[in-house]
Chain A
């Protein structure tokens, strides 16, 4: 019941989905649609777990006055306010009127967008620093990597003068020939890996997702 049933479920449904792919009949498509529909509903409950977990962690931080607990209040306040606005000040629960609530939209546009995009823009600085520290022509391989990166970075640079069109052509060739070959090998490798893992899951060889007893 605790281990055998889940393993059986994985096998039966996994196998059914593989067979489904090869049967272009309406009934098979109906089964497909049915599964997809159900999976989305089941999945939502799993996503809700994430939000619940965040709330619990933040709440515990405040409750037990752990380090930096003051900031957990900010998180909880943000969460609560968004929910308050998203339900249109707790007036509409069953219709998405709140999705157009003034404060809900403004909070997204003037809090989420600036902070999230700035956080990722910090990476510009870190990648500059990483390039400076790590890009050393230590060997032939490192030099190849360096040259390819430089070509891609310089290809649209008009300051190169007459060299610019040559660089442009070379970058097109580099992206479409050696880069394509390398990435194609990776795509094939990843594809084979995914299929192998999926088969291991279906056949019950890979069981990590079940957790411990």
Chain B
């Protein structure tokens, strides 16, 4: 086995080890990656920025812990922005283990909003977030297509009570709130085909203004919907989350993680190039023979 053969057939555990070392070492090294903002993310931020005090939005947290790395930063940044601006949020989840995710978001953001902060030059005084006044958490229901369809008619059809067992009519912010008509927009943080169900049954059926924050795996697949105007914004993967954090002036795990991405990608490209050099050299040698 010569060097070119070896370049093509490295044991995968060497790849694993190098990736782990590169990621950990990069993490220890403090530097920041400049993040350029793409139009599809900017349009999400602009809509959120234009919300006024007292407006209401629907935030669908449709991911399990396995996608939290990519989507939690977006959820945190946007939820905090809304609470700071006194925009009301209806939380819901269509993912099996998603209610724990919302629960965690609410606990953490309530803690964060209780402190004073300045974002994008605007000072916000710390305040207490009150369940039923600032937000309502509807909980989880299975079969996303049907739940979205039912919510478009009346939130009370799929959700007679909220997550905590309170009847929806007795919750202050749900008085006079029937369906998506009272919401300025729906933002769906999705891992999986729930995103497309929101497009088909949410936007398609009821014309709700819809934005998506999706995992990297789904990112490229959502562009046709962006092109056709079925969604007004798209934040895909950790890069999308980092852009949202940057726009909200609220740096978190996504912006922090981008510097690791940088070197991890370079390492993967290095391996691809190495494999290809080995491949082309071997092919040329075989041809010459």
Contact A37 B158 (CB under 8 A): yes
The answer, yes or no, to whether A43 is at the interface (CB within 8 Å) is yes
A120 at the interface (CB under 8 A from B): yes
CB nearest neighbor in A for B20: A125
How many whole Å from B219's CB to the nearest CB in chain A? 8
Chain B contributes a number of interface residues (CB within 8 A of A) equal to 62
- Give A128 to B267 CA distance when docked, in angstroms: 9
Q: Is the interface of B mostly helix, strand, loop or mixed?
A: helix
Would B276 and A40 count as touching, CB distance under 8 A?
A: no
The smallest C-beta distance from A30 to any residue of chain B, in angstroms, reads 9
Q: Which residues of B contact A146 (CB under 8 A)?
A: 272
For B278, the closest partner residue in chain A by CB is A136
- Set of chain A residues within 8 Å of B150, measured between Cβ atoms: 33, 36-37, 40
B153 part of interface (Cβ distance < 8 Å)? yes
CA gap between A153 and B146 in the complex, in Å: 37
Name the distance in Å between A129's Cβ and chain B's nearest Cβ: 4
Given contacts A117-B65, A132-B15, A137-B280, contact A156 B36 (CB under 8 A): yes
Contact A176 B227 (CB under 8 A): yes
Q: Which single residue of chain B is at the shortest CB-CB distance from A125?
A: B16
Q: Inside 8 A of A168's CB, which chain B residues have their CB?
A: 36
Summed over the interface, the residue pairs from A and B with CB atoms below 8 Å come to a total of 151
B165 neighbours in A (Cβ, 8 Å): 95-96
Q: Kindly identify, within residues 207 to 244 of chain B, every residue whose CB is under 8 Å from any CB belonging to chain A.
A: 220-227, 239
Cα separation A89 to B265 with both chains bound (whole Å): 48
Pairwise interchain contact B265-A157, C-beta atoms closer than 8 A: yes
B279 at the A/B interface (Cβ < 8 Å)?
Answer: yes
Interface string of A39-70 (1 = CB under 8 A from B): 11001100100000000000000000000000
CA distance A152 to B239 in the complex (A): 11
How far, in angstroms, from A69 to B267 measured CA to CA in the complex? 41
- Tell whether A105 pairs with B103 under 8 Å between CB atoms, given A112-B97, A136-B276, A153-B265: yes
3 closest residue pairs by CB, A with B:
A36-B150, A132-B271, A120-B66
Interface residues of B (CB under 8 A from A): 10, 12, 15-16, 19-20, 33-36, 38-39, 64-69, 97, 99-100, 103-104, 141-143, 146-147, 149-150, 153-154, 157-158, 163-165, 220-227, 239, 258, 261-262, 264-269, 271-272, 274-276, 279-280
Interface residues of A (CB under 8 A from B): 29, 32-33, 36-37, 39-40, 43-44, 47, 95-96, 99-100, 105, 108-109, 112-113, 116-117, 119-121, 124-125, 128-129, 131-133, 135-138, 146, 150, 152-154, 156-159, 168, 172, 175-176, 179-180, 183-184, 186-187
10 sample A-B contacts, Cβ–Cβ < 8 Å, listed by A number: A36-B158, A43-B142, A105-B103, A109-B100, A129-B15, A132-B268, A137-B276, A172-B38, A183-B221, A183-B224
